[in-house]
Amino acid sequence: MKNDARFNLEAAIASWRSFVLSKRTISPDDADELESHLRDEVDDLVAQGMDHKAAFDTAMERVGTRDVIESAYDRVYWKKLRAEGGLLDEFQRRCAMLKNYVKVALRNLRRHLGFTFINVVGLALGLACYLLIMQFVQHERSYDRHHERAERIFRVTTDYASDGRHWAATSPPVGPAMAEALPEIEEVARFLPITGDVVLRREDRQFEHSGGVYADSSVFDVFSVRLLHGDAETALAAPHTIVLSQRLARTIFGDADPVGETLTSYVWESVTVTGVMEDLPTTTHLPFDFMVSMATFNERWPGAAQLRRWERFYTYVLLHSPSAREPVEQKLSAFAASFFAGAAQERDPSAPGLSLQPLLDIHLQSHLEGEYRPNGDIRYVYIFGAIALFVLLIACVNFINLSTARAAERSREVGVRKALGADRGRLVGQFLGESVLLALMAVLLALVVVLAGLPLFNRLAGTSFSMSAFFTPTWLGSFLGIGLLTGLASGMYPALALSAFRPTEALRGYGAKAGRTAALRKGLVTFQFAISVFLIIATAVIYRQFQYIHEKPLGFDRDQVVVVKLNLGDILDTVRANPETIKRELKQHPAIHQASLAYTYPGACCGIEAVRLDGSADAEAVKVRMASAVDHDYLATLGISLAAGRDFSRAAPADTTAWLINRAAARHLGADEPLGSLLRWRGFAAPIVGIMEDFHFASLHNAVEPLVVLLRPSAGDLLLVRVRAEEAEAALQHIENQLARILPGQAFRYAFLNDELRLHYAAEDQLRDIAAVFSALAILIACLGLFGLAAFTAQQRTKEIGIRKVLGAPVSGIALLLAGDFLKLVAVAFIISAPVAYVVMNAWLDAFAYHAELSTLIFVIAGGLALMVALLTVSYHAARAALADPVSSLRYE
Amino acid sequence: MSATSKSMTGASAQAIVLSILGRRESYGYEIIKEVDRLSDGAIEWAAGSLYPLLHRMKADGLVESFWVEKEGERRRRYYRITEKGRKALAAEKKEWLVVHNILAQLWGLQPSLT
């Protein structure tokens, strides 16, 4: 029995015991027991002839390895606690530990105020952007969800396979016929928008209002439209009944219950108020302020309800179950074939098909012809969502970068903590505690930023969110949740990386992983700037396209044309009775160049009609856009030029009716010499007298379509007036005076053509502003992070810089050295994101039939801008480090 | 290095401990030695798993423990079966006999239990 002299059994057991005791789940009593066991084992083994060291090692092995003991004891720990009534103690201990984490975290944050500030502000900005945009996304996605039966409601649409046109509406009899033929349909409701303003009179007061619809009485059974007054069963059953929104009712009647009151109107003579409905939420694709019973329409225009090829009715069906959609769709083609079989073929030779569209998809995914109003766009929701995520990511990256950058600095702290017995879990807790605390501060600040930025955001996104929208439990919850998640997610990496340091290496200075974290940091900075550069390029391209739209010659004079809407019945009759007189009187004013009475104007033009060239070889009808009523002064007022032939002329007596067509129509009609040919439309024929240059009567999203213009001098309901730019005010005054002379006391409604055209690009307008603001924010947040990183690098390299200076390096060289590191990253970021931006933005531009070209200049400017911003950001620290006195920097330590 | 499968050992451990303590009070090391002897070295328990088991049984009220310091021996923590433990042992016994009977019949052994 030879014992190794260097092995001290007692010391080994003592050290083993202290290790066992370091586990909190093992009490001193338990340790005593284990020790007594270990000693029994050792004694036996020694008795069998082992030396002390071998006996100790074998006994250790039999007792079980560290991990086995730990987990086995852990498993019974809680049970024991409960049996011994120690739960409260344990809880208090954990609370104390948490308190300690917070205390240490706060101390750490206070000691590095710059770091804390950059992190909190960056994260708060990122969070605020994210929340604002997500609120918008949420809003867009919430359309029509307030209808209880939304899942079962479908819109019926009309599909012309022959020319690929898909209409959002159907003809009037489709709905009722479907309800009769298809048993899966529970109920049908139809809407017909009332075009233009309606004047409602009550006693001697009158109220002009747009946004009315004719509606079936079943609307209350299909949609969740709640009546505050009146009976849903009967409200829209009889002719001459009207249901007002609460808002409108209050305007007209004040707070009194208006049910039973009578209003008079030019169109329906008199209507009785039979109900007041709750104002519709803004999140509806079909907003209206009042409903007139469909029976009123049927009485006023008898026979219209039977037109099978008049796609003006928005038809909604309520199915028995959402799954009934498929069987209904299968039967629809047969239904459509038989339904349209007998319909008049004249307008359009092809028979349309019908299809169903889920109500909830309409707002974001439906872009059919003749939508009730322009819908939102799911792509923009995705784009905005992506921007929100990007900005948040950039903020998180700051967090990770700044924390790992401090790793080297904190490695000593980690080493000391570990040497003092802190295990990894405790360190992870400490670091996560810090980042969660930071994140919570950021959440609070973000809330302030959101509230402060809300008005600006509302202006940008065209929304009207109120502060209260953010103070719902859901939003506050998700607010906190996202903040915590961000804190945890971005704190996780630094926590794991730092806590993994081995104490020996950590105490020596740099951690073993310093090189790897530096590489990660560089990667993340590159990622941030790649996103930023992408956003800059995207914004620039959107701006350029917008400028292009507004500067592209449209083929007509869009400036200084005023559109006067003559929806008021009495005025319209007077003007139509003698259009030449009113135009002459208008033109007498020196500020007015031209005036024209028309039915349409560019930007709000035109319906599709089927026409046929007389005498063409195959006398087949072709579909063209048609401005069905303009007068002799139309071209002159709008400044549209002629390619061939002549304008309508008062001198030519044959021009009681005549056509002008555009170049696209001339090509489309297929005649060699269309001038002088007769063009037939609905059994009516007139000669083509001129060919117009193509002008953009629709938005630049679409190529110029074939257009025909019919001379009907007194059928228009709009006055187009070209005014002298400098005297627009006087001109408007003159127009008002003239109209007031015809019918005193009427309001005068007008719009500048340019503003009307702008409405086509509202979505792009919105995208432009949002992209601009948020890419600026993204850059700002990225730069905040860069600023912090530059500060740390400069600090880390203090000594190196001192030595370089002593050896004679110039200040500029040193500054360049420091800044160069970062600029390289920005350059790499540019190389990564430029091709991506090129592809993505090209795809976006392709949505426009007419678009600006992607010039390299945009890329150069975007790259230069990112580089310059980065340079400015790091130059402060680079310069400061370079200018520092080497004596003081080298004396350090 | 037990040849007996782990799940088997796990399931039987409590029954074995109760049976040993049912005869006389004992301490951990002795229990392990006893099991080693009875199984001819086939079952070799580790202290790291026996003690948590004992503690759990104690928390469940099946056994109780007390420290004993005998002259000339080291201080040891003894375990003693409780009344509740005896009931549990009786129940365990019944279950294991059922299992034993089934296996004995299946393997063609003579049921030699009386």
Torsion angle defined by CA atoms of residues A91, A97, A103 and A104, in that order, rounded to the nearest 10 degrees: -170
| Average of per-residue pLDDT across A617-628 | 74
**Chain A CB within 8 Å of residue B28 CB:** yes
In chain B, which residues have their Cβ closer than 8 Å to the Cβ of A69? Answer: 48
Tokens coding A204: 């001697």
Interface confidence, given as ipTM, is 0.84
Helices A66-84 and A87-111, packing angle to 10 deg: 120
**Chain A CB within 8 Å of residue B77 CB:** yes
Query: Is B77 in contact with A79 (Cβ distance < 8 A)?
Result: no
Search chain B and give the residue with CA nearest A83: B59
Question: Which range, A230-234, A402-406, A563-567, A784-788, has the best average confidence (pLDDT)?
Answer: A230-234
Q: Tell me, what's the pLDDT at A511?
A: 46
Least reliable range by pLDDT among A175-184, A209-218, A481-490, A588-597? A481-490
Residue A620 or residue A793, greater confidence: A793
Q: Tell me, what's the pLDDT at A293?
A: 95
Search chain A and give the residue with CA nearest B77: A33
Nearest-angstrom CA–CA distance, A857 and A543? 14
In chain B, which residues have their Cβ closer than 8 Å to the Cβ of A40? Answer: 29, 74
Collapsing DSSP states into helix, strand and coil, what is residue A418? helix
In chain A, which residues have their Cβ closer than 8 Å to the Cβ of B48? Answer: 63-65, 68-69, 72
Search chain A and give the residue with CA nearest B54: A76
What is the pTM for the complete model shown?
0.68
- Please state, for a pLDDT cut of 70, what percent of chain A lies above it: 90
Tokens coding A882: 């370079």
In chain B, which residues have their Cβ closer than 8 Å to the Cβ of A76? Answer: 52, 55-56, 59
Search chain A and give the residue with CA nearest B61: A83
Can you list the alpha helix ranges (DSSP code H) found in A711-761? 728-742, 753-758
Nearest-angstrom CA–CA distance, A429 and A414? 13
Residue A568 or residue A692, greater confidence: A692
Task: For A860-885, write each residue's pLDDT tens digit.
Answer: 988 888 888 888 888 888 888 888 77
Residue A56 or residue A84, greater confidence: A56
Quick one: which of A508, A399, A422 has its CA closest to A121? A399
**Chain A CB within 8 Å of residue B72 CB:** no
pLDDT category at A289 given cuts 50, 70, 90 is: very high
Search chain A and give the residue with CA nearest B44: A62
Query: Is A62 in contact with B74 (Cβ distance < 8 A)?
Result: no
| Closest CB from A30, A39, A84 relative to B51 | A30
Question: Which range, A12-16, A394-398, A576-580, B94-98, has the best average confidence (pLDDT)?
Answer: B94-98
Residue A747 or residue A749, greater confidence: A749
Query: Is B74 in contact with A36 (Cβ distance < 8 A)?
Result: yes
| Average of per-residue pLDDT across A685-712 | 88
Query: Is A83 in contact with B29 (Cβ distance < 8 A)?
Result: no
Q: Tell me, what's the pLDDT at A516?
A: 64
What separation, in Å, do the N-terminal and C-terminal C-alpha atoms of chain A show? 55
CB A329 within 8 A of CB A224: no
Considering chain A, what is the average pLDDT of its residues? Answer: 83
**Chain A CB within 8 Å of residue B48 CB:** yes
Identity of the residue numbered A149: R
Nearest-angstrom CA–CA distance, A393 and A490? 10
Q: Tell me, what's the pLDDT at A739?
A: 80
The alpha carbon of residue A95 is apart from the nearest alpha carbon of chain B, in Å, by 25
Task: For A336-380, write each residue's pLDDT tens digit.
Answer: 888 888 665 544 556 788 999 999 999 988 888 788 887 888 888
Question: Which range, A338-352, A405-419, A672-686, has the best average confidence (pLDDT)?
Answer: A672-686
Distances (CA, A) of A578 to A581, A714, A742: 6, 8, 11
CB hemisphere CA count around A309 (13 angstroms): 18
| Sites in chain B below the pLDDT cut of 70 | 1-10, 109-114
| Average of per-residue pLDDT across A446-464 | 86
Query: Is B48 in contact with A40 (Cβ distance < 8 A)?
Result: no
Query: Is B48 in contact with A30 (Cβ distance < 8 A)?
Result: no
pLDDT category at A196 given cuts 50, 70, 90 is: low
